[in-house]
Amino acid sequence: MDERATKLKTCIFEHIGNMKKETQRKIETYEKETHSSRVLFIAAEMGNTNFLVELIRRYPDLIWKVDDNNQSIFHVAVKHRHEGIYNLLYEIGAMKDLITPLKDPKDNNMLHLVGKVAKKKRLEDVSGVALQMQLELLWFHEVKKTIPLSYRERENEDGLTPHELFTKEHKDLITQGEKWMKGTASQCMVVAALIATIVFAATFTVPGGYNQGNGIPIFHSKATFAVFVVADAISLVSSSASILMFLSILTSRYAEYDFLESLPRKLLLGLATLFLSITTMMIAFGASFFILYHKGLLWIPILICVFVVLPALLYIRLQYRLFVDVIRSTYRSRYLFKPQKHVLYYENPKV
């Protein structure tokens, strides 16, 4: 949709460029004064960054325009959580210090706007309420760094500072995020505890049993036995670590800022160690069949190992979206703002 709108706008500009100068001047003046600012805020609300960039390149002073609420396109972008448009602030240099302090008729500055809960549609792409809360905190901290220091504690018409408004507006989201995080941690912890029980028991019931004379495992000299022991040990350690991670989530304070880094990182480590424990448990299981059926019936352990892969693949399939969202929210979010690529104004070539 963005590409088609940009092409349409470009075609219109090219057509205007082929007209007589006097006609061209009248059309441009009419478009600039009557329609461009209106289109500007519609594009900002819809998040149409490409179209907006083309419009501002044509009329650079449109960047100063404000709507009926005395809000610039950047205020609208913050309100609707469009990072592509918001990032244009970093391309206009010192001018942003004159735009960010703008307030609406209710004395809400840009930080107040980000203190209000985003529309549900903007949060649907993030799986898990806790990660949605994390995204909201990321926006709040980003805008907080952008606006002047004196505006961070300014009260609006209702006597609320931006942080007080954020806490009030996100109270339900924090409650839902705590419920979601505890539910996820509880379910995963049950699985990790079952794995730990199984692999711990397997440590003392090795395949083939023990030599009655000296108590040494009968197949201790086989390479596959070493694979079994190592995989079983890794599974036990990783499942125990997973239990501890999920336990720390359950016993967390669930303060507002815990959703920013602490809780997502614990969840990420818990999921990763749980996956490792499942995988190594399956490896130990497959290795035990190679130990027992290494002579004559080699097709049995090979067939078993094929089926052993399925639980690990199923875990990846079921938890892939959540795992990716946690990584993206926790680590890739640092690249959400201040992009390296300039889109509004091209960088001057280095001499």
Taking the C-alpha atoms of residue 213 and residue 210, their distance in angstroms, rounded to an integer, is 9
In the block, tokens 């007080």 appear at 164
> What residues contact 5, with CB distance under 8 A and at least 6 apart?
48, 50, 51
Question: How far apart are alpha carbons 109 and 111 in whole angstroms?
Answer: 5
**Between the CA of residue 37 and those of 33, 69, 104, what are the distances in Å?**
7, 14, 17
Q: Where are the domains of the chain?
A: 2-172, 173-334
Per-residue confidence of the chain (351 residues) as pLDDT tens digits? 455 555 545 555 554 445 444 434 543 444 444 455 677 888 888 888 888 888 888 878 888 888 888 888 899 999 998 888 888 888 887 788 888 888 988 999 999 999 998 887 777 777 788 888 988 998 999 899 888 888 889 999 999 999 999 999 999 999 999 999 999 999 999 999 999 999 998 887 877 666 776 667 666 667 778 888 899 999 999 999 999 999 999 999 999 889 988 999 999 999 999 999 998 998 888 888 777 776 666 677 777 777 777 877 887 788 778 888 888 877 766 677 766 666 666 554 443
Instruction: State CA 208 to chain mean position distance.
Output: 48
Query: 62-69: long-range contacts (C-beta < 8 A, 24 or more apart)?
Result: 62/32, 62/36, 62/37, 63/92, 63/95, 63/99, 64/99, 65/37, 65/40, 65/41, 66/102, 67/41, 69/104, 69/105
Superfamily of domain 2-172: Ankyrin repeat-containing domain (1.25.40.20)
User: What are the two backbone dihedrals, phi and then psi, of residue 217, each rounded to the nearest 5 degrees?
Assistant: -55, 140
Give Rg (Cα) of the chain.
Answer: 29
Q: What is the pTM of this model?
A: 0.77
Contact 74, 110 (CB under 8 A): yes
Q: Which residue has the tokens 């938890």?
A: 319
